[in-house]
A and B are shown apart, each in its own frame.
Chain A
Amino acid sequence: MSELEQEKSLQSIKKTISELKTLSETSDIDLSAEIARLEEKAKQLSEDYYKNLSPWQRVQLARHGERPTTLEYIEAIFDDFIELHGDRVFGDDQAIIGGIASLNGQPVTVIGHQKGRNTKENLQRNFGMGHPEGYRKALRLMEQAEKFGRPIVTFINTAGAYPGIEGEKRGQSEAIARNLREMAGLEVPILCFVIGEGGSGGALGIGVGDRIYMLENSYYSVISPEGAAAILWKDSTQAQRAAEAMKITSHDLKELGVIDGIVPEPKGGAHLDKKAQTDFVKGFIEQGLQELTTLSKEELIEQRYEKYKKIGEVIEKENMD
């Protein structure tokens, strides 16, 4: 069955169920057995449907306007969050936020891209697209975490670092590059969660860590599907095709050995049950920190290095240097 057919048949069963329910309420006929049978069928169908979402459908879910944002995860998972502002050099980037909080009583530093809920918020947050000062604030807070021996949790959700004049002038490249290098050497555990869009260098700029997790319907890519399509086929409407070719879903990245785990999402997407979603993420944070807590600083950094060293695939011919 194609995706569309699946969705149609699911809709029609749901309609029948609601009709039968109305009928059984307004008349004396007992339809409970039939309703239960149909509900079971609907459940099965919807499970199949959501298990087999196409990469492009997942991109849509990753970008969904109602999807939980970094601040929502922070509020649901941690206590005593205090937001800390500014890079001490230029300004305070509201597209990347951070601060200190406690997780079940343990102090942690939390950092993430923050998207807005509506146009007004999105303008304030610049759609979660960071400037150099945002990446520099993130690094300042991470170094502070290292000083006080606090683990770091990052939430990644950006289409990319902002492509603009000011960013270039203030060293967008350098800010991201420095974060990559410094995150590789921080002597505290780092857990990274791609909660929505994992857009290229802008995502990676707060995404080097000991455990990288992706929410089931998030994506992580070197370039947006639209951008890739425009370059490869000179046609941004081929984004769907690019989304498939570039292998950007959580399942793809798990298979490629880039990420450590997939955080399940409630059926239909994270936005449909935020409580369940934040609980899932919290479970992964607790588990991740527990796995890393026994490692010495040296082991932590060496394992992090080896993790990245392994990523990639090359062919080596024999008899070489």
Chain B
Amino acid sequence: MFKDIFQKKQKKKYIVVPQNQEQTRKEIPDGIVIKCKKCQHILYTKDLEKNLKVCTQCQYHYPLSARERIGSLVDEGTFVEFDAEMTSSNPLSFPEYEEKIASDQKKTNLQDAIITGKGMIESYPVVIGVMDPSFRMGSMGSVVGEKITRAIEHSLKTKTPFLLFSASGGARMQEGVLSLMQMAKTSAALKKLDKAGLLFISIMTDPTTGGVSASFASLGDINMAEPGALIGFAGRRIIEQTIRQKLPDDFQTSEFLLEHGQLDQVVHRHELKKNLATILQLHQ
């Protein structure tokens, strides 16, 4: 059929549009159209970007980079980044760690797996941290732990609500037990925030697992998640190996957690800003 030929041709001949620096890393491949990785529907890249990277057909939420997330939520011109230059050392002299960090820095244009700062959401001041799943799978080492802790301390000092978007595979192996201890450090800071009566909203995005799930991400006064996000303590493969049975498809999704009483809300990306603003307003 003529139609088939046309489609094939189009597939082969992608036109590469120039990308700005924030989009150098591609969850969504370069091109005018892409096939949704969930529902296989063909989408215009432009439409997808306009739709906050949510598939217009199946509502699959593509991962957002930390900068995209901040851009989509924080009032224009209000964001001030904290600790922008902080980077990882190699405290255990772990083989190939420095190379991996350097390569991800180049690939993502980030220093590490999180951006923290302050800004306004619908004119409400917030301190905000946003993890980026494309940097070492969003894993938490000393830099992530320290930046979160400092952000919480800033929130405490300025009596401002704290928001954290998690997207992480867990603790960063290459920093060993130092990564594990970041769980205790960030949680201890959250205890101070809690005692001071300040609001902490945790927003879990795909994926929020392991040590991040078992520390700050679960400690919000309100814990919410984006639809379809993978959220859990142990990895799926580990559980399957341990119990020797296959897990259902929806296991460890946002919806599964909501059903089991582990989340306050599952919120569509389009509703997120409004939802956050309402919560902030109710805590003024």
Contacts and interface: CB of A to CB of B under 8 A. Distances in A.
Interface of A: 161-165, 167-174, 176-178, 180-182, 184-185, 200-201, 204-205, 207-208, 220-223, 227-228, 231-232, 245-248, 253, 256, 258, 304-305, 308-309, 311-317, 320-321
Interface residues of B, number: 66
Given A305-B192, A308-B188, A315-B89, A258 B178 contact: yes
B217 A256 contact: no
A223 B214 CA distance: 14
Contact of B260 (A170, A178, A201): A170
B184 A182 contact: no
A321 B84 contact: yes
Contact of A311 (B178, B194, B213, B242): B178
Contacts of A246: 92, 94, 173, 176-177
Nearest to A221: B177
Contacts, number: 197
Contact of B195 (A170, A180, A185, A223): A185
28 contacts: A162-B242, A164-B243, A165-B239, A167-B233, A168-B233, A168-B252, A171-B261, A176-B215, A177-B183, A177-B218, A180-B183, A180-B188, A181-B190, A185-B194, A200-B211, A207-B184, A221-B176, A245-B94, A245-B95, A258-B181, A311-B182, A312-B146, A313-B89, A315-B86, A316-B86, A317-B86, A321-B80, A321-B84
Contact of A181 (B94, B188, B262): B188
B82 interface: yes
A320 B187 contact: no
Contacts of B214: 161, 172-173, 176-177, 180, 201, 205
B232 A173 contact: yes
Contacts of B143: 314
B243 A320 contact: no
A316 B173 contact: no
B197 interface: no
Contacts of A168: 232-234, 239, 251-252
Contacts of B176: 221-222, 246-248
Given A221-B176, A246-B176, A177 B181 contact: no
B191 interface: yes
Most chain B CB neighbours (cut-off 10 Å) among A165, A207, A227, A248: A165
Most chain B CB neighbours (cut-off 10 Å) among A163, A227, A231, A304: A163
A137 to B, nearest CB: 17
Contacts of B210: 201
Contacts of A315: 86-89
B108 interface: no
